[in-house]
Amino acid sequence: MSLRDFVSEISDVLFPPLCLACRRVVQSVPPAVFCANCLDRITFLTGSLCPVCGVLFPDSPAGDHVCGACLASPPFFDRARAAVVYEGIIADTIHRFKYGRDLSTGGALARFLAECPFDDLDWHRCDAVLPVPLHKKRLRERGFNQSLLLARALGRKYGIAVDFSLLKRRKFTLTQTGLTRQEREKNIKGAFETARPGQIADKNLILVDDVYTTGATVNECARILKHSGAADVAVVTLARVI
């Protein structure tokens, strides 16, 4: 047994892995982020989807098809996918991560996201993973960018460079919480800029955020990236509001 394996076994005895939600000991090897009981209470976004924005069509007999919103107003991103529904356990843990400044919870959620399959995304074609940036004022208040933590987990899994400097937030905006779709779009308009457009032109990019609510934020990011010449912009989020 190597020293690393020995230390790992001792650590598991002294500090057994706990479920992120109920805090019970997780018995699986390697340790899962959530225990089986809590995992059953999480709704994964599988089934019939809009191939563009990824909205779920529950119990739809028609299969995947473009939703009315994307037909009426096509977004700037090429496709958006989320792992799970933003509710219950997931909403609680994301809130603990972001607003409780719990980086250990954030690390576990990042591992959870990286373990989720996104089978219709071609990761091999991706040139870079970009987190949705925070304004420097918000970054100072929070102390970290939750999207960057998630992006790094995906970058490690797929062997893709994570670049947090290509997309910048130039305008401080009010929180999007509680705003309508129209208010969110107005609030976020013009909030982002690209730092080095020459490194974006003709690139296939994956934009990462924690929660997709109306899509206003990621769509504005995608608009700026496409304006700088990006060939393809896909969006990946941990959760989505349904």
CATH number for the domain that contains residue 80: 3.40.50
Length of the chain: 242
Nearest to 221, CA basis, from 180, 178, 175, 170 = 170
Global pTM reads 0.89
The helices-and-strands tally (H runs, E runs) of the chain is: 9, 6
Q: How many CB atoms lie within 10 A of CB 125?
A: 11
**pLDDT tens digits, 5-51:** 433 444 444 468 999 999 999 987 788 999 999 999 999 998 899 99
**11 and 88 share one domain:** no
How many domains in the chain? 2
Residue 105 φ then ψ, to 5°:
-65, -40
**pLDDT tens digits, 89-142:** 999 999 999 999 999 999 999 999 999 999 889 999 999 999 999 999 988 989
Alpha-carbon gap, residue 100 to 111, rounded angstroms: 19
191 and 201 Cβ atoms separated by less than 8 Å: no
Range of the structural domain that residue 5 is part of? 1-40
**86 and 174 share one domain:** yes
**135 and 154 share one domain:** yes
**18 and 134 share one domain:** no
Q: At what angle do helices 146-158 and 103-115 cross, to 10 degrees?
A: 40
DSSP 34: S
